[in-house]
Amino acid sequence: MRPKDPSPPASIPPHVVVCAGETSGDHLGAGLVRAIRELRPQTTFSGMGGEAMRGAGVDTLVDVSELAVVGLWEVLVQYPRLRGLLQRMQRHLDARRPQLLVLVDYVEFNLRLAAHARTLGIRVLFYVSPQVWAWRQGRIHRIKRSVDAMAVLFPFEEALYREHGIPVRYVGNPLVDRVRKPAHDLRAELALAPDTPLIGLLPGSRKGELHRHWPLLVDTARCLLEKRPAMRFAVPLAPGISSTMLAEIAAWEGLPITLLQKPEGAQEVMAASDLLLISSGTATLEAALLEAPMIVIYRMAALSHAVFSRLIRVPHIALVNIVAGAEVVPERLQQAANPTALCREALEWLDHPEKLADVRMRLREIRERLGAGGADQRVAAAALEVLDTGTLADPQ
């Protein structure tokens, strides 16, 4: 039997705990919090997140920089620390007893927190579906036991959860509202001639990704410069990532690489670059919305890859290709992501502008597939519906 509903008297403002485990989730959580505040200004928030959520007024007990690990081997190595952070959040739920827990992605950690919340009678909304349609579909049964409702970003996910009797709402993707061509011209700032190739290097925001991808991208840049000495490179630094951190991983002295450490840096690089070498993740959707040609890369620990490669059930791993339903941009994974191959492929694209133009045209279709704007407002409405009623009503 579920514990008593923790809803406060009507005179007491509700408290919501929001938990995001990485940079992309931090931004999603911040958008959700702002939208809830527009509807119910007295609502208070705490949880785990980063700069974006703190800027939205969330009292963060755990920072996303403490959680950003990916892959089976990495999780095993970091397990004692992650368990300690989970216990910290569980104690916070015990003490604070919020009226709603909103979990943003970061599935393994957050589902464990959801299970604890359910024992306390706290209502749970899970925002951003794990890729159960791609691998480990059996997780959907665990989700059904642990959450009251799902808010999903892609329309095809809604039918999957409804089929399993899980209340669900398709809210759309907030990137549709947030990604616009920057007003600032990065090429002008860098004083680049119109015919000077600019390559954007996006190694990812997690520390493990940086260690695997940054040396690869630096070596690829060296290879490209040997072939095209006039080429220039730009790197947007994710929150919590510094030039000192990158220098400790791989030095780039003598290379014409510009680092940008500002909130809009990633989109400025995407919009200005002729081509991106980009880590697989949410950033590929941002790049697609800016019609930026890209080569998607990803490397993980050998053990993690050996396990995941046997579980994956879809032909693509890059979100941009998953949304398109086809390989619009190339994916170069594990050993296929090496400096020689990336250098050769990048030059092939740059030497044939018609290929870049064709990719840009195909990327324009991504915005249509991601639906209309207003995702923050829709997920906020869903969160308040779960807070008020404990579930989501079926669509009429």
Dist. CA 323–CA 19, nearest whole Å = 26
Residue indicated by tokens 């700069």:
51
> What is the pLDDT at residue 379?
97
Alpha helices (H) along 164-282 = 175-178, 186-189, 207-227, 243-249, 265-272
Q: What is the 3-state secondary structure (H, E, C) of 16-79?
A: EEEEECCHHHHHHHHHHHHHHHHHCCCCEEEEEECHHHHHCCCEEEEEHHHCCCCCHHHHHHHH
- Structural domains of the chain ordered from first start: 15-174+374-389 (3.40.50.2000), 186-369 (3.40.50.2000)
pLDDT < 70 stretches in the chain: 1-11, 66-79, 132-138, 301-315, 395-396
- Which amino acid would we find at residue 58? V
Dist. CA 238–CA 246, nearest whole Å = 11
> What is the pLDDT at residue 168?
96
Could you tell me if 343 and 220 are in contact, meaning their C-beta atoms sit under 8 angstroms apart?
yes
pLDDT in tens, 113-153: 999 999 999 999 999 988 754 445 667 888 999 999 999 99
> What is the pLDDT at residue 207?
80
Residue indicated by tokens 């290097």:
201
> What is the pLDDT at residue 218?
97
Dist. CA 267–CA 355, nearest whole Å = 22
**Strand blocks (E) in the chain:** 15-20, 44-49, 59-63, 100-104, 123-127, 149-152, 168-170, 198-202, 232-236, 257-260, 275-279, 294-298, 331-333
Could you tell me the pTM of the whole model?
Answer: 0.80
- Which amino acid would we find at residue 139? R
Dist. CA 294–CA 282, nearest whole Å = 13
Dist. CA 109–CA 22, nearest whole Å = 11
> What is the pLDDT at residue 71?
45
- The closest of 340, 358, 333 to 280, measured between CA atoms, is 333
pLDDT in tens, 302-320: 555 555 555 555 567 788 9
Give, in order, the Cα–Cα distances in Å from 196 to each of 37, 201, 241, 260, 275. Answer: 46, 16, 28, 19, 12
